[in-house]
Structure 1
Amino acid sequence: MMLGITRFTQVRAGIRSSTLRQQPKIKDAAAHAKLSKIRWAGHVMRFSDNRWTRAVSNWTPRDVRRTTGRLPIRWSDFFTKSFKDRYDALRVPRTDTIHWTTLARERDKWKDCWRPLGIPEDQRESSAHNY
C-alpha cells in the first residue's frame, strides 16, 4: 500500500506506480534496502565484543561452489564496490586506501561517507552545534 492507496484502488483509478513514486512520501525500495544494509554494516562493525553477528558477516565460505555463471561474491564486496562508485576525495580522504570496516567503526566518518551528495557540509546532522 503506497500513500494509503491499495493496489485495487490504484488499478481501478488507473493510477500508475511511477506517478505514486513521484509523491514525496514514497521511497525507492532499492535505495531503502541499500541504505538499510549500510546502516546495519556500520552497526555491526562497531560491536566491541566477539559476537557471532560480526563473525558471520566477515566469514568467507571456502568450500561452497556457486552455480555456473555466478561470481563468488561476498557480503563485504558490496561496500568495496559502492566506495569505488561513490568516491569523493573532498568528502572522504584516502577512501581508496582505508578499508570500509575501519571507516564503519567510527560513526561520524561512516555517516559522512554515505550522506546524500546534495547536502552542504554545514547542514549535515553529524556536525557539532554551537548554541
Structure 2
Amino acid sequence: MLGITRLTQVRAGIRSSTLREQSKIRDAAAYAKLSKIRWAGHVMRLNDHRWTRPVSDWTPRDVKRTTGRPPTRWSDFFTKSFKERYNALRVPRTDRIHWTTLARERDKWKDCWRPLGTSEDQRVSSKGNPPGLGQQVVV
C-alpha cells in the first residue's frame, strides 16, 4: 500500500503504528475492542426476551473454573477497561457505577468511550444536532 517492505521498515526504524496512520488502516485490536464495547451497549439496551442478554449476564453455578489463570469473563473485560479509561473529571464515583447500568443509557455509554482528547465543548455538529451522533468537529 505504501510501498515499504518489512526490511525497509526495520532498517529505517519506522514503527507499525506510523505506517497505520499514514495508510489510514485501523488497528485490529483497537477495532475489535470498540466492536465489543458497541455490541455490549446494544445488548444491554434490549428490552425484549431474547437470549443474548441472559447469556451475557449468566454465571454457571454448578461448574468449577479450571486451575491456573482463569479466562477473562465478559464483565471482567469492561471492569478492566473502565479502570484504564476513566478519569475523575469524566465520570464521578466510577467505582460505584456498574457497566451494565451505564450501557442501558446510550448517551452515557457513548460518552464513556469517546476519545479521551475530546471534551463536551469540542463536540459540535454541523446541523445543530446533539453531540454523539457521529459528527465531531474540533473548535
| Interval of TM-score (by shorter of Structure 1 and Structure 2) | 0.7 to 0.9
Gaps of 5+ in 1: none
Instruction: Give the partner amino acid of 1:20.
Output: L
Larger relative CO (CA 8 A, sep 6+): 1 or 2?
1
> How many equivalent pairs are there?
121
TM-score calculated relative to the size of structure 1: 0.76
Q: Which residue of 1 aligns with 2:88?
A: 89
Q: Using the alignment, how far apart are the partners of 1:50 and 1:88 within structure 2?
A: 35
TM-score, with length taken from structure 2: 0.72
* Rounded Cα–Cα distance in structure 2 between residues aligned with 1:98 and 1:12: 45
Gaps of 5+ in 2: 124-130, 134-139
**1:52 counterpart residue number:** 51
Q: CA deviation at 1:87?
A: 1.7
Distance 1:12 1:44 in 2: 41
Query: CA offset at residue 48 of structure 1?
Result: 1.0
- CA-based RMSD: 2.6
What does residue 37 of structure 2 align with? Answer: 38
Q: CA deviation at 1:46?
A: 0.4
Q: Which residue of 2 aligns with 1:25?
A: 24
Q: Distance in 2 between matches of 1:12 and 1:31?
A: 22
Q: What do residues 29-72 of structure 1 show as CA deviations (whole Å, max 9, x unaligned)?
A: 11111111000000000011221001111111234444442225
* Pair 68,22 (structure 1): closer, same or farther in 2 beyond 3 Å: same
